[in-house]
Amino acid sequence: MSDDLADWIERTFGVRPADTAPFVRALTHSSREGDSYERQEFLGDRVLGLVMAEWLYETFPDEPEGQLTKRFNALVTGVVCAEVARSIDAEARVRLGKQAHSDGAQHSDNVLGDVMEALLGALYRTAGLDAARDAIRRLWADRIHADARAPQHPKSALQEWAAANRRAVPAYAIVDRSGPGHAPRFTVAASVGKDSVTAQGASKQEAETAAARALLTALEEQAAASAKPRRRK
């Protein structure tokens, strides 16, 4: 497994580590015996944040801090990290306990997002910041240029819409939480006054974001329909 893992690391990150142990740890979920990825996830999260902030600062020299922050927040979410993890086939290499594997934790955005950050932590520890920077810039390259304008977070967009239309401040409430601890599903209700929708996500934040997006769409459609002139009979 060590040679196979080293080959995968080299293909994925462009470096061949002398010691694969940090990468084994980065792929190990807490449901399995031994050290899990949690400490390296903590480190990798900071490495990703630093590299992404530096990259955005260089790439969009004319954008103010607020716009850079919007781009940053959109690029480092757990969902995006999970997408990147899938793109490098980390999903097939996650080491899980028997029950977690049966529950499909290897497909969870929460788990894969954490694993991706832990892998970046392992890369930083074994090969340094330059190697981590090169890997992040390659793996996130398509995403950083995906939006010509800085994306706005759905919760911020909903709040601005509510303020502009003199509506109540958006509110969020957890309606349900289901699933095992390593792969939870949250159902959240987002409301503006009497208008409300629910949405699900792998985390409270993800569910709130989905609910805000759905409610904003519904409110905009409702407003557009009300603005249409009525035909005279």
pLDDT at 231: 61
Q: What letter represents residue 221's amino acid?
A: E
Q: Each residue of 6-41: pLDDT tens digit? A: 999 999 999 999 999 999 999 999 898 888 999 999
The CATH number of residue 191's host domain is 3.30.160.20
* Percentage of the chain lying above the pLDDT 90 cut: 65
CA distances from 80 to 9, 47, 143, 169 (A): 20, 15, 9, 28
Annotated binding-site residues for Mg(2+) read 41, 114, 117
pLDDT at 154: 87
Mean pLDDT taken over the chain: 90
Residue 181, phi then psi, degrees to nearest 5: -60, -35
133 and 34 within one domain = yes
pLDDT at 232 over 90: no
Annotated binding-site residues read 41, 114, 117
138 and 158 within one domain = no
220 and 137 within one domain = no
pLDDT at 101: 83
The CATH number of residue 132's host domain is 1.10.1520.10
Domain termination site, one of 82, 115, 144: 144
- Residue 104 — pLDDT band, cuts 50, 70, 90? confident
180 and 116 within one domain = no
Domain termination site, one of 123, 144, 165: 144
188 and 165 within one domain = yes
102 and 44 within one domain = yes
What is residue 6's three-state secondary structure? helix
Among 152, 155, 162, smallest CA distance to 195 is for 162
87 and 34 within one domain = yes
Q: Each residue of 194-208: pLDDT tens digit? A: 999 999 988 888 899
158 and 125 within one domain = no
- Alpha-helical runs (H) found in 60-153: 65-75, 78-87, 98-102, 109-127, 129-139, 141-144
For residues 86-104, average pLDDT: 89
Residue 212 inside a domain? The answer is yes
Among 102, 78, 103, 106, smallest CA distance to 90 is for 106
CA distances from 73 to 17, 117, 142, 156, 195 (A): 31, 15, 16, 12, 27
CA distances from 35 to 39, 81, 158 (A): 9, 21, 41
Which DSSP helix (H) or strand (E) runs through 195?
strand 195-201
Residue 149 inside a domain? The answer is no
**Tokens encoding 68:** 């850079």
Greater confidence, 210 or 104?
210
Residue 216 inside a domain? The answer is yes
121 and 174 within one domain = no
pLDDT at 229 over 70: no
Among 111-120, 126-135, 215-224, the range scoring the smallest mean pLDDT is: 215-224
pLDDT at 12: 95
Number of structural domains found in the chain: 2
pLDDT at 32: 87
pLDDT at 233 over 60: no
**95: which DSSP letter?**
B
139 and 39 within one domain = yes
Domain termination site, one of 144, 164, 181: 144
Residue 232 inside a domain? The answer is no
- Residue 211 — pLDDT band, cuts 50, 70, 90? very high
Domain extent, residue 174, equals 154-227
- The Cα–Cα gap between 101 and 183 comes to 11
pLDDT at 225 over 90: no
Residues belonging to the active site: 45, 117
113 and 167 within one domain = no
112 and 51 within one domain = yes
